[in-house]
Amino acid sequence: MNNAVVTDFVKAINDGDVNRIYELMTEDHAFIDAQDHVHKGREFMKNAWKEYLEMFPDYQIDITEIIGTDTLFALFGYVSGTYKNLKNKDNSNYWRIPGSWKAIVVDKKIKHWQVYCDYTGIMEIVNRNL
């Protein structure tokens, strides 16, 4: 059953549905980014997701495998996006990289979401477009 919560969370992210993302997070939600920075709180993360999805409007998580228990899940796959939808003929603002995620579900909500991937190329795209 909690597997459905995790897949619904990924769907909300892929749909860019910040309100649904918010509904699926616990009040004390913790988001840990790929640089190991911890961001806490559902309200904070609602705004953070809104800003991130404005930066990468076509952001997608493509899950190829989920391994889990009742409350702890590991997700594997790919993540992609185009910086501010700035499409060009050489597609240099688009990225797609392998990624993995750790999710902890409590009371049918995501309490913990941790991202594991190499954002080096993404930051190069962002910095090039500033």
Average pLDDT value for residue range 6-34: 98
How far is the C-alpha of 1 from the C-alpha of 44, rounded, in Å?
27
Three-state DSSP class for residue 128 = helix
DSSP 33: -
pLDDT tens-place string over residues 38-67: 999 999 999 999 999 999 999 999 999 999
The pair of three-digit structure tokens given for residue 79, joined into one six-digit string: 């993540």
Looking up tokens 């590991």 gives: 74
pLDDT tens-place string over residues 59-103: 999 999 999 999 999 999 999 999 998 888 889 999 999 999 999
pLDDT band, residue 1 (cuts 50/70/90): confident
φ, ψ of residue 99 in degrees (nearest 5): -150, 160
- The domain in which residue 78 lies consists of 2-128
How far is the C-alpha of 99 from the C-alpha of 40, rounded, in Å?
21
pTM: 0.95
CATH number at residue 70: 3.10.450.50
Asked if residues 51 and 94 have their Cβ atoms less than 8 Å apart, the reply is no
If one counts the domains in the chain, the total is 1
DSSP 69: -
pLDDT band, residue 130 (cuts 50/70/90): confident
